[in-house]
Amino acid sequence: MKKIKKETGGLIFVVDDNEIFAETVKLGLENKFDNDIVAFNNGKDLVEALVLKPQLIILDYELDIEDNEYGNGMVILDKVMKICPGTPVIILSDLTEIHVAKKLLLSGASDLIVKDDNFFDNLINSLNDIKEAVSLEKKIQLSLRNANQYKQRLINIGLTLVIMFSLLYLFAR
């Protein structure tokens, strides 16, 4: 497993069997985001590293096709969703087949980005959108917790008032 430095803005995994491509994406992201970025060249290493609970995964759809257990993005996406449910996964692919994209998105992928001339800009935009969505989700969860706490306080105040008025009624007789 690759050595990982102290976590800053969260951990992002990049997985592509083209080592140069994976490292290029990693370096590009390190220049744009305050995250620890780790590049993997196969799905097996990624799956083993999931114990580190990455904040986000960027996964090539077409990895080593000869590896039946870890050979494509769909298989790995399924493993990620079982081990780290809710982890955003962006699929990178040369594919433009709609049925494959639909299946990936229905299986839990957060986005699908075609490896074309604009892929890095599209990747940055997708990462920003996902980070914003995660931030909003955390704010919503905090608001719900606060609302539940206020609800419990109101219930306690109501019960206290009922008891007080009941006692006043009993002693006033």
Assign residue 125 the CATH number of its domain: 3.40.50.2300
The count of structural domains within the chain is: 1
Q: Is residue 28 part of a domain?
A: yes
pLDDT at 138: 85
| Cα dihedral 120→123→128→132 (10° resolution) | 180
Encoding tokens for residue 91?
């699929």
What are the b/e assignments for 119-148, b being 16+ CB within 10 Å?
A: bbebbeebbeebbeebeeeeeeeeeeeeee
**Domain range spanning residue 22?**
11-137
Q: Is residue 162 part of a domain?
A: no
Q: Is residue 171 part of a domain?
A: no
What are the b/e assignments for 47-62, b being 16+ CB within 10 Å?
A: bebbeeebbbbbbbbb
Q: Is residue 55 part of a domain?
A: yes
Q: Is residue 70 part of a domain?
A: yes
How far is 122 from 87, CA to CA, in rounded Å?
Answer: 19
Mean pLDDT by 10 residues, the chain (173 residues): 54 94 95 93 92 95 72 88 94 82 89 92 94 87 88 90 88 78
pLDDT at 68: 64
pLDDT at 62: 85
Q: Is residue 75 part of a domain?
A: yes
pLDDT at 97: 76
Q: Is residue 19 part of a domain?
A: yes
Q: Is residue 20 part of a domain?
A: yes
pLDDT at 2: 46
CB 88 within 8 A of CB 137: no
Which of 6, 2, 41 is closest to 25 using CA atoms?
41
* Cβ within 8 Å of residue 107, ≥6 positions away: 74, 77, 78, 81
